[in-house]
Structure 1
Amino acid sequence: MSVLMQTQLTQSLQASLQILDLRQERCPMAMVQTKLAVRARLPGQVLRVLLSDQGSRRDVPRWLDKVAIPYRILEDGEWLTLQLADNDYEEKERHVQPDP
């Protein structure tokens, strides 16, 4: 693959991937910002949401389930990483934590 093709592919991937790092945010701001990003997402665009607040880690996936937006959990450790993409319907995983 030529350098030009690699550069174009990298630029295309960057344009189709949006990372929303909300690890410093707490509810309700993390939820508000997630909703705004979901509504602004272009068709085919992949959105990754990073959450660390326990309330957000619980509430954002619940909201995604409620409004039937497919997502995958990429990482669930120190923070939660959710990936939303149009082609995730078959691969949908749910993240549900029991109520305290």
Structure 2
Amino acid sequence: MEIQSLDLREHRCPMALLMAKRACATLGQGEQIALYVLDSGTVKDIPRYLNGNGFDFEQSVVSGATVFYVTKL
């Protein structure tokens, strides 16, 4: 199964965080999504949200963008 992705590179916080929350809320258990972000505020806020809301994630940098690979637990 292909991993969904959401490109938030053109958005800043709080809109990028709200869009990420909505996308993550649609995931079923074990499903994944890749979130691409550039905004420094969003890079800090997304992990805080994920840690407190039943998600596991890995973070990496790809072509200058931070990518969160998110899995719903």
Q: How well do the aligned residues superpose, as a CA RMSD in angstroms?
A: 1.9
Runs of 4+ with deviation above 4 angstroms: none
CA distance in 2, matches of 1:51, 1:85: 17
Gaps of 5+ in 2: none
Structure with more relative contact order (C-alpha pairs < 8 Å, separation 6 or more): 2
| 1:25 is aligned to 2:17 | no
User: 1:85 offset after TM fit, Å?
Assistant: 1.9
Question: CA separation in 2, counterparts of 1:52 and 1:18?
Answer: 18
Instruction: State the secondary structure of the residue aligned to 1:44.
Output: coil
2:13 corresponds to 1:54? no
Larger proportion of strand: 2
User: Taking structure 1 as reference, are residues 63 and 77 closer, same or farther at Cα in structure 2, changes over 3 Å only?
Assistant: farther
Residues 21-40 of structure 1 show CA distances to partners (whole Å, capped at 9, x for unaligned) of 10001011111111101111
TM-score w.r.t. structure 2 length? 0.84
Seen in structure 2, the aligned counterparts of structure 1 residues 29 and 66 have a Cα distance that, compared at 3 Å, is same
CA distance in 1, matches of 2:72, 2:66: 20
More helix per residue: 1 or 2?
Answer: 1
TM-score scaled by length of structure 1? 0.64
Using the TM superposition, name which of 24-33 and 40-49 deviates more. 40-49
Gaps of 5+ in 1: 1-12, 88-100
3-state DSSP of counterpart to 2:42: helix
**Percent of aligned pairs with the same residue?**
26
Q: Give 1:74 deviation, angstroms.
A: 3.1
